[in-house]
A and B are shown apart, each in its own frame.
Chain A
Amino acid sequence: MADREAARAASRALASRLRSDMRVNGVGITGDRFGFAVKVNLVDGLDQPELPAEIDGVPVETEVVGHSFLLLQ
């Protein structure tokens, strides 16, 4: 696992690469004192971009979160 700074750099690099891909709904960081990883949120588990298992030694995790919506009623 990587430290926070390495995960931040990897996350930003991947976010830049995926910026216009609407199948992705978030590229961030996850983890704790035992190590950090890049986290990629996907809209649909059946239609997702090809993602590396790690970037510059930082693991990449994915989660299917669905579409986003404002929380106004």
Chain B
Amino acid sequence: MDLQSARDLQAELLSIGMPYEIALGIAPIKGDYFELAVRVQHETPETVKVLAYIEDQARGEVDVQVIGTPQLQCSCEPYAPGASCGREDAGVGTLGPLVTVQGTEYVVSNNHVLANNNQGRPGDEIWHPGAPHLASADHDPPQRIGTLAGFIPLNEDGPNTVDAALCTLDDGIDFSCEISEVLDPGELVRGIRVAKRGWATGHTEGHVTAFEMNNFHIWCEPLGHVLFADQIQIEPDSGSLFFSLPGDSGALVYEPETKQAVGLIFAATRASLEPGRSATYVNPMPAVLDQLGAALTAR
């Protein structure tokens, strides 16, 4: 197919939503002939079905490669909000802001990232780029960066306002963060521009579309459906499909002009109707800090 046809097909398929294990691109084959590039992390019953659909839509003009799990970010020093983190019995999320609690510094992320939905215990090891069981021989070995210090328990009866936990920093782990102020929630309005850095999608920008959102329910294994209140909804800028993706849990959201913290990412929704219709949900930062007994710390 020609380049424009490949781009149109790519956009059309992305608009209906792909499993995160499948990435779509454009593969130049020869001259003006292109194919749809399909990169699959691993084959599952769902990805096999989706692949068959893609091949049908592309009339066979696809370049499919199974690439395995994308490698986690190579270790970065100094660490900063946006670096990946994980524990042995859970997946990978993102390190958020640096805070101080009673004179001790910690890094904040979600309960579901650092404490595996209330299952963790203080002292559990936290790793970067992720837990050792996700490591690859081709990249830097995971490094322990600290331990779980505590978390705000998720209440199965709800409503919860935050999904947050604290990670200590081991000696020699240098963590820098330039955000130390918090946006006044009374200033939240539709359209406020926000940004974040998460390990899955890096730096992205979007805008607030709703706030003080109650009745937000989400499945948290093994707790079941957990109800949240007072959440902030963010949508990507036009032309972007997402503000966040799986792996961005725990990322610090801030106003880029004032560098004021807005909140902590924890969840998303995606209505597979049209591009840009995914939404990210963020715990309000004042509530995160209040419940952790913490203050943002710039270093």
Chain A interfacial positions (CB closer than 8 Å to B) = 4, 8, 11-12, 15, 18-19, 22, 24-33, 39, 41, 45, 63-73
Contacts and interface: CB of A to CB of B under 8 A. Distances in A.
Contacts of A27: 213-215
Interface residues of B, number: 47
Contacts, number: 129
Contacts of A64: 271, 273, 277
Nearest to B232: A28
B113 interface: yes
Nearest to B112: A70
B244 interface: yes
Interface string B223-249: 000000001010000000000111111
B231 A26 contact: yes
A47 to B, nearest CB: 13
Nearest to A61: B210
Interface of B: 20, 90-93, 110, 112-113, 186, 189-191, 198, 200, 209-220, 231, 233, 244-249, 265-273, 277, 279-281
A11 B271 contact: no
Interface centre among A24, A63, A68, A70, by most chain B C-beta atoms within 10 angstroms, is: A70
Contact of A68 (B200, B217, B272, B277): B217
B214 A73 contact: no
B23 to A, nearest CB: 14
Contacts of B249: 70-72
A28 B246 contact: no
A31 B190 contact: yes
A31 B94 CA distance: 30
Contacts of B247: 71-73
A19 B273 contact: no
